[in-house]
Amino acid sequence: MKVRALLTAASAATLAFALAGCATSAPSAATPVAEAAPAPAHTPIVWDLTDLYPDAAAWQSEHDAVVADMERISAYRGRLGRNAATLAEAMELTSGLSKRAVRLFVYATLRGDEDTRIQENLARRQLGNQLLSRLGEATSWMNPEILTIGERRVETFIRQEPRLGVHAVNLRETLRFAEHTLTPQSEAVLAAAGLPLGGPQRIYTQMAGSDIPWPTIEIDGEQVRLDAQAYTRHRQNPDRDTRKRVFDAFFGTWRQYESTLGEALASNTQGQVMNAQVRNYGSAREAALFANALPVSIYDQLVSQAHAGLPTLHRYFRLRGRMLGINDLAYYDIYPDLLSYDATYSVDDSERITLEALQPFGEDYLNILRQGFAADWTHLYPQEGKQSGAYVFGAAYDVHPYVLLNHQDDFDSLSTFAHEWGHAVHSSLSNSTQPWETSNYATFVAEMASTINEVLLLRNVQARATSDDERLFLLSQELELYRGTFFRQTMFAEFEAQIHAAAERGEPLTGERMSEIYLALLRSYHGADSGVMAIDPAYALEWAYIPHFYTNFYVFQYATSVAASTLFAERLMSNQPGAQAAVINMLRSGGSQHPHEMFVAAGVDLSTPAPYRAVVTRMDAIMDEMEAILARRG
């Protein structure tokens, strides 16, 4: 994902955070990992940041130059409507500064994530955030002034001045926001408030990553410090008693901070509500979706169809209980593999299998993968102090994307590998096709570009399975993709919608109240009232563990993306005429169109039931096959 050409301080503060993690599992708090894994001899292990800047001194020199050049912006204040040439000069200046500032931000983030313990890295990252905030403040007067020019004259200027061609999309977007744009003075205040309003998220990240004293429990004869990384690993333990102890200790720790973290999330939520109200939106959700011209009907359709598909989800839980030999399925039973399947996937394997699975995209796509695999685009393995999770940064427009991984040589690592390289190829295709001004694609499209790779990967390895056990394992992995990405993320989306609605009604929003809301959703999605799964109220603190709730109305896009990906993948695998071109054209389009328009043009309308029903239909087909295999085996 990239930032918009003209940044706001709020988006700058949350950019890197929004990119962390992968859609197939619950977002985890930012915590460094401590164990390193061996690497193949030929594969570059660590990315080369000299493609961005030769060294830290060069970064600082460019930072200072951008700060100095920002002083030139004010010279255009009050003059944008003078003529087309003046408007073009101002747009060129601010666009160029935004590109340079984002590149600085990318370097600071990547260098910081190599080792989160180094104070110099932390200071540089803060400078990068501050620079984007300052740029937002320095340009905050521009949109109100463009609106005073009026649509008719702006369109005339675009026709008169060729240099405005690359800025036409952003100019028209500014006009689209007319009724939600304030006076220059008010816009300046909101721009300056961006960093303070991002405070709850930074407080949460600091607490979750460094300050919470995580418990130590014995697992398999060893003392394990149960931080977020360890929880993610050990919640899959094959021993049921161990899983329960992991859940109890981990969420018991979060409960100690229920009030504090409730206040943090409430403050973040109220900040979003305040922003929506002062900008004349009907709700915070409407404001979030309006940013990408998404109809609210998409969100409502998603939730409605997820609820309609709950019988299929509950069928999966019953199958899970049967395969695990558990009659009283509990929430701590949702993560262990349904059968033991020992397979390792080195980085060499991940590269080879990913290339095989993504053949339906065609050679242009595959050539970008080959180029990236052979070059220094990736930070591959866990190491002490390194940022956990996985993400892609493709926002440094004139430089290749950077991919952060923590490859553990298991199937999850293979899946994450394919997912993140989907983001990387998307960035490459967009940046090579679009000018900087329209290269920034929306998250709504970005998550489809990565999730479709997971779907194609799973279908490819399933077709190559050589035993019932292997096929059952791989089919169960696809079920987990849909559980974790469609149903779980929609449950998160419902939670977000409910806490924002409560704030908009002026209701008290405490940590205890958030736990009540979250518990009701857990029980509904997991069939507690119909005896499908027992939900311990202690696990209602899971909301506190999910960092994406600080990134306003973000997670629903994981669910819409896996629905679209399921349809697109079916079309690609069946060689449907035009399917390959439709998807590749979307990836090349960047931000040149609104995302919903892109999907509709490619043949998928996410405001209708069809994409979501495709997920449910596929899940039922998978379970039909799994049950047939189990019946045959007796």
- In this structure, what DSSP letter does residue 386 have? B
User: How many beta carbons lie within 10 A of that of residue 144, not counting itself?
Assistant: 18
Q: How many helices (H) and strands (E) does the chain have?
A: 28, 5
The token pair that represents 518 in the structure block? 């979250």
Mean confidence (pLDDT) of the chain: 92
Whether the per-residue pLDDT at 2 is higher than 50: the answer is no
Rg of the chain, C-alpha, whole Å: 24
Beta bridge partners of residue 232, listed in sequence order: none
Give 482-537 pLDDT, tens digit per residue. 999 999 999 999 999 999 999 999 999 999 999 999 999 999 999 999 999 999 99
User: How many beta carbons lie within 10 A of that of residue 424, not counting itself?
Assistant: 23
Inter-residue contact 14 to 551 (CB < 8 Å): yes
Inter-residue contact 468 to 475 (CB < 8 Å): no
The token pair that represents 11 in the structure block? 């988006």
Nearest CA among 317, 236, 305 for reference residue 531: 317
**Domains of the chain, first to last:** 51-181 (1.20.140.70)
User: How many beta carbons lie within 10 A of that of residue 621, not counting itself?
Assistant: 11
Catalytic residue among 145, 258, 420, 447: 420
pLDDT mean over 340-355: 92
Whether the per-residue pLDDT at 311 is higher than 90: the answer is yes
- Give me the pLDDT at residue 627, please: 98
Top-confidence residue, 616 or 388? 616
Angstrom distance (rounded) from CA 236 to CA 239? 9
- Give me the pLDDT at residue 43, please: 59
Inter-residue contact 406 to 441 (CB < 8 Å): no
Angstrom distance (rounded) from CA 242 to CA 538? 17
Does 627 qualify as catalytic in the annotation? no
Whether the per-residue pLDDT at 399 is higher than 90: the answer is yes
Angstrom distance (rounded) from CA 56 to CA 61? 9
- Give me the pLDDT at residue 236, please: 94
The residue type found at 634 is: G
The token pair that represents 244 in the structure block? 């329960």
- Give me the pLDDT at residue 33, please: 34
Would you tell me the crossing angle of helices 411-433 and 443-463 to the nearest 10 degrees?
130
Strand ranges, E, within 488-620: none
Angstrom distance (rounded) from CA 333 to CA 316? 12
Angstrom distance (rounded) from CA 183 to CA 193? 15
Residues in Cβ contact with 513 at an 8 Å cutoff, skipping those fewer than 6 apart: 262, 502, 507
Angstrom distance (rounded) from CA 90 to CA 171? 12
Worst-scoring range by mean pLDDT, 113-127, 199-213, 224-238, 449-463? 199-213
Residues in Cβ contact with 300 at an 8 Å cutoff, skipping those fewer than 6 apart: none
Worst-scoring range by mean pLDDT, 34-48, 129-143, 562-576, 617-631? 34-48
pLDDT category at 13 given cuts 50, 70, 90 is very low
Inter-residue contact 244 to 464 (CB < 8 Å): no
